[in-house]
Amino acid sequence: CIRDSKKIVFIAGADSHAEGEHEHKASVELLSLEFRQQYPEAEVVNVIGGWPIDDAVLTDADVIVIYGDGGPLHVINDHLDTVSQLVDDGVGFVVLHYAVEVARNSAAADVMQRAIGGHFETHWSVNPFWEANFTITPSHPINEGIDSFTLFDEWYFNMRFVDQGVTAILSAVPPNNTMERWNGAHSGNNAVREMVKEQQLQTVAWAFERTNGGRGVGYTGGHYLTHWDNPNTRQLVINAISWT
């Protein structure tokens, strides 16, 4: 049958870190409520605490939103065949904050690249806390209605992107204090230090159009629950889901 509405599935990983940080359940509940209010015709399903016990909840999904811890704790790690098939079927993916990180040179990294066009790669990408100043130019549907804004958060940058199909949605110039830590898997490397020294613009949120017609979005902010107090961040993610 042909459905009149779109189906959005939010997957929230387990909460982690201190109170107010990586509160994936509360954040997903907030964002999904906002989406329902703006798109009441949509079917919105929240899966809390990790990957759904029954993959049937993903049947007929148009967009899957993943917000949870990444790396070895990523919710897709044990479900790569399923995620790969969803990508092949053209299902959209919106991946938020730590969930953009998958193990380096892994099958999960390959799937993430195909899904959203980029990912956090250890020993290349970095995850400092910094105040990012975003100048918004409405050159993409995701940026419609978004004002320029400044916000402190754990904005990742120097992502590992595919060669084609990626459009920057949020970009800023990281300040020198983002490189105060020693080199490490997440903290810095000589290549990114040179980029910061040269004040290169860095993409922290992006849109991806796959060759098969599917779409994906990566958004690196969202460490703090209060991140979503900013109307621009909330609306940008709502727009990202709608576009995807």
Distances (CA, A) of 110 to 76, 119, 202: 12, 9, 22
Does 3 score more than 80 pLDDT?
Answer: no
CA distance 122 to 104: 6
For residue 2, is pLDDT > 60? no
pLDDT tens column, 151-202: 999 999 999 999 999 999 999 999 999 999 999 999 999 999 999 999 999 9
Residue with the two structure tokens 């804004």: 149
| CB of 35 closer than 8 Å to CB of 8 | yes
CA 181 remoteness from chain centre: 24
- The residue-averaged pLDDT of 134-145 equals 92
pLDDT tens, residue by residue, 61-94: 999 999 999 999 999 999 999 999 999 999 999 9
**pLDDT band at residue 139, thresholds of 50, 70 and 90?**
confident
Half-sphere exposure of 178 (CA within 13 A, CB side): 31
Cβ contacts of 103-106, under 8 Å, gap ≥ 24: 103/71, 103/72, 103/74, 103/77
Count, in order, helices (H) and strands (E) of the chain: 5, 11
Residue 212 — very low, low, confident or very high, per pLDDT cuts 50/70/90? confident
What local confidence, expressed as pLDDT, does residue 25 receive?
98
Any idea what DSSP says for residue 117? S
List, as one string, the DSSP characters of 27-54.
HHHHHHHHHHHH-TTSEEEEEESSS-SS
At residue 23, the 3 state secondary structure works out as coil
Distance (Å, rounded) from C-alpha 116 to C-alpha 3?
A: 25
pLDDT at 227 over 90: yes
| Residues above pLDDT 70, as percent of the chain | 98
User: With 90 as the cut, is the pLDDT of residue 138 above it?
Assistant: no
140 vs 87: CA distance, rounded Å: 22
How far is Cα 187 from Cα 182, in angstroms, rounded to an integer? Answer: 6
Beta bridge partners of 160: 119
3-class DSSP state of 103: coil
Mean pLDDT for the chain?
Answer: 96
Q: Is the pLDDT of residue 51 over 70?
A: yes
